[in-house]
Structure 1
Amino acid sequence: MLNRYPLWKYLILLIILFFGCLYALPNLYGEDPSIQITGLHGSITNENAFVQIKNILQKDHIESKSITWQNGSVLVRLPNTSLQLEACEAIKKSIGKNYIVALNLAPATPFWLSALCAEPMKLGLDLRGGIHFLMEVNIDSSLSKLQQENFDNLRSDLHEKKIPYLELSKSDLFSLQVRFLDQKTRDKVRRDILSNYHDVIIKNSSYNTLTVAVNDESMRLAREYAIEQNINILRNRITQLGLTEAIIQRQGNSFIIVELPGMQDSARAKEILSSMATLEFRLVDTHSAVDITLPKDSEVKYTRDGRAFVLNKSVILTGDHIINSTTSIDEYNQTQVNISLDRKGGNIMSSFTRDHIGQAMATLFIEYKNSGKKDSRGHMILEKCDEIINVAYIQSQLGSNFRISGIHNQKEAHHLALLLRSGVFIAPIQIVEERIIGPTMVAKNISQGLKACLWGVLVSILFMVLRYKLFGLVATLALLANLVLIIGTMSLLPGVTLTMPGIAGIVLTLVVAVDANVLINERIKEELQNGRSVQRAIHEGYKRAFSSIIDANITTLIKVIVLYTVGTGSIKGFAVTTAVGIATSMLTAIIGTRAIINLIYGGKRINKLSI
């Protein structure tokens, strides 16, 4: 029989609509101004911090909506933004040195919805606000590495050729100075050794001294490499946070802009983005004692519990060669970090451990922290902090894969693995400006976006009802269902962020959905004018309009795919929203309206349609 749907089709449509409403519902609850407190190494591992924060707020008579401790961090929800700022200052003043304290916006979604993984849509900077970081790359550190590389290579070459020299030292402007016994030796080194050094400028100085300086082109390339690699590492770290629409771009010669639209865990983001941790593997000098005069090529380093070791200044391997790191539990139920090296790093480690079996090798954890001081430009000066996290004897030749033990805190091990896995900064980086995109512009954008969407829907509804009567009303119901399904799907998809262009995509898909119903209704009217019966006209109208609707949506989808492929940021957001809208509009405009029409007219003897 024409225009009849089986029961299972109606059940499927009702289930889809139910889940669409369910996952769209969290968007009605809004957000609470909040403060997130996270440990310096990624987590708060004891309840004392929770109690301490609660006491701070009570002491300053700051009323909070709730204080929760979960997933290694404390979240304080406040009634309004003024109390949020007041509480943030109070907490920073009391415990800011030991914890990361950051402003946040926490969804006010009820627990029963959160338990069903129903969360509100992530909004972009222009709709929800978010975190804006201006980060400065310490280019001098990158050039210092280049200077150290030349220093190590030259010292190794002089030692290999058995050429005596009086002094080899670092000088200004990232150059080296090497002083020889006589002019003949100096000229021999310049001719036989330094002639093989590329991208350097060699000058004769007084007292049989050579000055080896990096040329301008090499310094420029080193700067460019440091910026580009740090941008790539920031992208990797942001991926670890689960964000897909973050904006990362270069500004000037040494700055990087990072925008995190819709970011909620701002404390975690700040910690991961600004953490500058790496590893160095060094040989332990067991022949030297801490309490005597140390050789020039050795220095003393300490473990966290204060034990001192004498290490060679020469670095066997740095974290630059680490391509992957994970954590696991060893046979003694202790946390360990599993390291994978690239080919070059694996060859270096294999060669070194083969020649030093039986000797001790230390793993030095290095981190750059804010010293609290500022340079002449007003920027924070970074302080290099290091500690030995592992000392082990080399029992056999190692390769590209090995493990580091001795990290007793599992959270710290996970944090270290994450940083090493996402990449080690080529040059230290620090946040010089942090801004939260304010509510004024956000409120204005949301107001304008909602007005545009509302007026578009109202005009479409008015047109459809006046033009097609009952069929227009059915199309209106489908239009509203389409809007709910778009919001529900956008809320459910991970990593999707709604921006102003995304709202434009929603309006566009609603228009496309209206166009589909216009095609169907006009086809039905044509069939009636051609003398078809009512039931046949409905059937043929939907059938003949189907191919035209499919063709129109496929061409739109192709454009959307192109936009998503070549676009970035908000353009991708527009493409995602439009693609979701195309899928839901096909469901509601064709199947949804047909189901309602079948309920009203299907299987009945009717002589006239309200169309």
Structure 2
Amino acid sequence: MSHKFKPALWRRLKMSYVAMIAACILLAVSALPNLYPNKSWLHISLPDQTVTLQSVTTSLNQHGFEVTEANDSQAQLAILLAEPTQSANALSFIKTQYPQLEAKIVEHATSPQWLQQLGLSPIKLGLDLNGGVLFVLDVDLDKAMQEHLNSVYQQTKLTLRKDKIRGIRASEVKEGVELQILPSGEEQLAGLVSTLQGQFKGLMQTKSTTNNLTTVLLHFNEQSQSEFNKQVMAQSLTTLRGRIEELGITEAVTQRQGKQRIRIELPGVQDPSEAKRIIGATATLDFYQVVEVGGKAFNVQGGGVVNLNPMAIFSGDHINNASVGKDEWGKPLVQLSLDSQGGDAMSAFSKHNIGKPMATVYSEYSRDANGDVVKKSEVINVANIAQHLSSRFSITNMKSPQAAYDLALLLRAGSLTAPVTIVQEQTIGPSLGSENIEHGLAALMLGIGITLAFMALWYRRLGLIANIALLLNLTALVGLMSLLPGVVLTLPGIAGLVLTIGMAVDTNVIIFERIKEEKRKGRPTYQAIEQGYNQAFTTIFDANVTTMITAIILYAIGYGPVKGFAITLALGLLTSVFTGVYISKALSQTLYIKLTNLTGARA
């Protein structure tokens, strides 16, 4: 019998088309910036006019860094190299050659201005595609807790001496601080413990009595230790990200790996020496009051020993900015600017201690011949407070301009409260990254070509629809990956793209076979299309849900390339259902309606 299509059906299809076309246009526009890859420029700030654009470009060219374009505007130089993979090495060279300049690598978009105004950018490439350096760092949480307990012990001894508490003796044990209480000290125990708990959050006490001798163990329970470890890891991640930003490296990936490891990926970096020196450094800077009696002994740089209050006035965590300068004798110094909390601490301390000495302690961790972590602390500066200080002052007596530069960089980025050790280092050359891209795209194109040919030959008209949906699926996936922040394309991610194509085709095969079954039952073509899509949806939905669960698990426990594969797979599942079910259904129905109206065929 003849089949006429009512206007209501056409209106429903048109509404579906409007929504689908809008979504496809949005994702296609988001994918467009990938046709215009970013370029890495060197941005150099000029504090004075002693350095010119000509001198910098000439120096770069003489040392093998070919400059293709250079601009000078508003006391800043912008330089583009012929070989983008040399940008990191050129940056290191500039910082060494011109230590007074501030330089960094900045990604410049090459896409049309209207795309940039929409805030659209290409997909970020992972380490295996862009080349670069991988570091895996181990954070020594046990050592950090040990140092924390040692601070409790030092503060306990200072409080006992300062408050002239008698009858209580403190000793350091593995679990914490042990207090032996004589009868004369019972009344002052509560005040001592209360004071210490006010300074150290989560400090617990366990009391026991043996042979009429009361013993109190000050310690941190498992919950407090777990919270402390979380804070240390969070602070380490923040500090390392700050250091990477100070190095001028963009598109870096810094994430926690397991219980106490941190994974750092630096795409585009080919010389890991400077990154390793700064990222792996565990230097801290603290400011202490010098005490004449008691306290903790510290070695002085150049010889000697000085006793300091074990509780710092403030630490490097409160430093907002640090810059290199010179004193009146031309010697290097580091100028510091503190945040409000650090400024208040310095102001309160200096106000009541004018004329008294304050020490600057520089600490760093290293490993000895046995592989054990050793902390070395030394006083790099002891100076009398000449006046009421606030949030700005200087550290003098630096060894060299390079030492001042490194210290300023570390202080700007923050100090690490726990020692970190680089346990894995891997450098991927730019040529290998280019080969990965070339081979990965070749595999992708081959897979697409074979799939398109098979679907066109086997399913004819429906195969044409499947091919259109397949190309839309790939475009939508690229657009979605470009649109979402934090998505990085890796080599396994390209494998995920190929897998997504296969899954999208599988979706169409299931649907088309259902349509054939319905037609064999004698249903009209339009009803067969409707029933085929409706009945196949449950099977497709179940298959995609189970695969999505796998992708989520891979993303949750995987790192680096594995995470990249999981992201591509998960997003590919969403786009394949959208294009393989909804778009192809609308296209199939529209194609049949047009053919029916044109030929007057009987269904």
Q: Quickly name the TM-score band, shorter chain normalised.
A: 0.5 to 0.7
Distance 2:89 2:275 in 1: 22
**1:257: how far off?**
7.1
Counterpart among 20, 29, 47 of residue 13 in structure 1: 20
Q: For the structure 1 residues 162 and 548, does the alpha-carbon distance in structure 2 shift closer, same or farther, using more than 3 Å as the test?
A: closer
Counterpart among 19, 25, 28 of residue 35 in structure 2: 28
20-29 vs 580-589, which moves further: 20-29
**1:259: how far off?**
3.1
Q: In the alignment, what sits opposite 2:264?
A: 259
Q: In the alignment, what sits opposite 2:195?
A: none
Counterpart among 299, 307, 314 of residue 309 in structure 2: 314
**1:464: how far off?**
0.9
**1:596: how far off?**
2.7
Which segments of 5 or more consecutive residues in structure 1 lack a partner in the other structure?
164-188, 203-223, 286-293, 300-310, 328-334, 341-345, 395-403, 409-413
Counterpart among 76, 79, 82 of residue 76 in structure 1: 79
Distance 2:142 2:520 in 1: 81
Asked if the contact 2:510/2:536 (under 8 Å) is kept, the reply is yes
Distance 2:89 2:281 in 1: 27
Kindly report the root-mean-square deviation, in angstroms, between the aligned alpha carbons of the 2 structures: 5.9
Distance 1:571 1:55 in 2: 43
- Specify the SS of the correspondent of 2:128: coil
- Specify the SS of the correspondent of 1:602: helix
Asked if the contact 1:3/1:535 (under 8 Å) is kept, the reply is no
Asked if the contact 2:27/2:475 (under 8 Å) is kept, the reply is yes
**1:601: how far off?**
2.8
Distance 1:434 1:100 in 2: 27
Distance 2:478 2:308 in 1: 58
Which segments of 5 or more consecutive residues in structure 2 lack a partner in the other structure?
1-5, 179-225, 298-305, 322-336, 371-375, 395-407
Asked if the contact 1:278/1:365 (under 8 Å) is kept, the reply is no
**1:100: how far off?**
7.1
Amino acid at match of 1:23: S
Q: In the alignment, what sits opposite 1:220?
A: none
Asked if the contact 1:534/1:607 (under 8 Å) is kept, the reply is no
Distance 1:436 1:225 in 2: 35
Q: Deviations over 1:62-118 (max 9, x none)?
A: 6423446899986532112687588457524421x446767x694663362333322
Q: Deviations over 1:225-266 (max 9, x none)?
A: 999987554433456679795466699xxx977431547899
Distance 2:537 2:140 in 1: 60
**1:20: how far off?**
2.2
Q: In the alignment, what sits opposite 2:133?
A: 131
The answer on 1:454 being equivalent to 2:445 is yes
Q: In the alignment, what sits opposite 2:462?
A: 471
1-10 vs 66-75, which moves further: 66-75
Asked if the contact 1:123/1:261 (under 8 Å) is kept, the reply is no
Distance 1:246 1:153 in 2: 38
- Specify the SS of the correspondent of 2:535: helix
Asked if the contact 2:170/2:177 (under 8 Å) is kept, the reply is no
Distance 2:462 2:127 in 1: 40
Counterpart among 89, 94, 98 of residue 91 in structure 1: 94
**1:365: how far off?**
7.6
Q: In the alignment, what sits opposite 1:490?
A: 481
Q: Deviations over 1:145-193 (max 9, x none)?
A: 8777756655654676689xxxxxxxxxxxxxxxxxxxxxxxxx9xx73
Q: For the structure 1 residues 48 and 478, does the alpha-carbon distance in structure 2 shift closer, same or farther, using more than 3 Å as the test?
A: farther
Counterpart among 165, 169, 179 of residue 193 in structure 1: 169
Asked if the contact 1:137/1:428 (under 8 Å) is kept, the reply is yes
Q: For the structure 1 residues 27 and 101, does the alpha-carbon distance in structure 2 shift closer, same or farther, using more than 3 Å as the test?
A: same
Distance 2:177 2:577 in 1: 68
The answer on 1:121 being equivalent to 2:97 is no
**1:581: how far off?**
0.8
Q: Deviations over 1:548-599 (max 9, x none)?
A: 3222222222222233333333333222211111111121112222333344
Distance 1:520 1:553 in 2: 14
- Specify the SS of the correspondent of 2:127: coil
User: 1:554-593 residue pairs with structure 2 within 5 A?
Assistant: 554-593=545-584
- Specify the SS of the correspondent of 1:494: coil
The answer on 1:553 being equivalent to 2:544 is yes
Distance 1:602 1:316 in 2: 82
Distance 1:229 1:149 in 2: 18
Q: For the structure 1 residues 559 and 160, does the alpha-carbon distance in structure 2 shift closer, same or farther, using more than 3 Å as the test?
A: same
Distance 1:366 1:9 in 2: 69
Q: In the alignment, what sits opposite 2:68?
A: 65
TM-score (norm 1): 0.61
Aligned residues: 498
- Specify the SS of the correspondent of 2:265: strand
66-75 vs 526-535, which moves further: 66-75
Amino acid at match of 2:571: V
**1:438: how far off?**
0.2
User: 1:196-211 residue pairs with structure 2 within 5 A?
Assistant: 197=173
Q: In the alignment, what sits opposite 2:431?
A: 440
Amino acid at match of 2:237: R
**1:37: how far off?**
6.1
- Specify the SS of the correspondent of 2:466: helix
Asked if the contact 2:470/2:501 (under 8 Å) is kept, the reply is yes
Asked if the contact 1:456/1:507 (under 8 Å) is kept, the reply is yes
4-13 vs 256-265, which moves further: 256-265
Q: For the structure 1 residues 72 and 157, does the alpha-carbon distance in structure 2 shift closer, same or farther, using more than 3 Å as the test?
A: farther
**1:123: how far off?**
2.0
Q: In the alignment, what sits opposite 1:109?
A: 110
**1:546: how far off?**
2.5
The answer on 1:537 being equivalent to 2:501 is no
**1:141: how far off?**
9.7
Asked if the contact 1:369/1:383 (under 8 Å) is kept, the reply is no
The answer on 1:504 being equivalent to 2:495 is yes
